[in-house]
Amino acid sequence: MTESDETSPQVKAHIAPWLPVNDGPSAFAYYQAAFGALERYRLEDETGRLMVAQLAIGEADFWLQDDPESVSSSSAEPIRMILTVDDPESVHRRALAAGAIEVSPVSEGHGWLIGRLVDPFGHQWEVGKPLEHSE
């Protein structure tokens, strides 16, 4: 560590993913139904249609943007999210009931209880929690 590192103030930061979707209002409704997402911020166009929203699942923030051009671009890659929750099985079931497609069921692997799904907008979600290990 250099002297300047020791005297630099700590920067408080967090990362919030930005998900492009082809239908902002439908995506908003899905994330509410699937994960209980709450709205923190909303930006609408002149007709009142949702264009950008900041959502939160618990204390985890993310953004969505109605951006069909970005979604339909051949260079667009799906975004993969890891959602850490206390009860991955119930959250996984809820997301499937809201319209997700299961990639893998919730199971134990690599120190996690985790399952994977794809939401109706093409984004991949791993829903899980780390397992406690006894020593």
Q: Tens of pLDDT along 21-78?
A: 999 999 999 999 999 999 999 999 999 999 999 999 999 999 999 988 776 665 556 6
8 found inside a domain: no
d(CA 40, CA 54): 5
Residue-level pLDDT at 33: 98
pLDDT of 127 reads: 96
CATH number at residue 122: 3.10.180.10
- 10 in any annotated domain: no
Which pLDDT belongs to residue 76? Answer: 59
pTM metric for this prediction: 0.81
Residue 86, pLDDT > 90, answer yes
Q: Is residue 1 part of a domain?
A: no
* Domains held by the chain: number: 1
Which residues, other chains included, contact 51 with Cβ-Cβ below 8 Å and sequence gap of 6+?
24, 43, 44, 45, 65, 66
Find the helix or strand (DSSP H, E) in which 113 lies: strand 112-118
d(CA 21, CA 122): 8
pLDDT band at 8 (very low <50, low <70, confident <90, very high): low
The answer to whether the beta carbons of residues 88 and 113 sit under 8 Å apart is yes
For residue 51, being part of any structural domain is answered with yes
Specify if 58 maps to a domain.
Answer: yes
Domain ranges, residue 70: 15-130
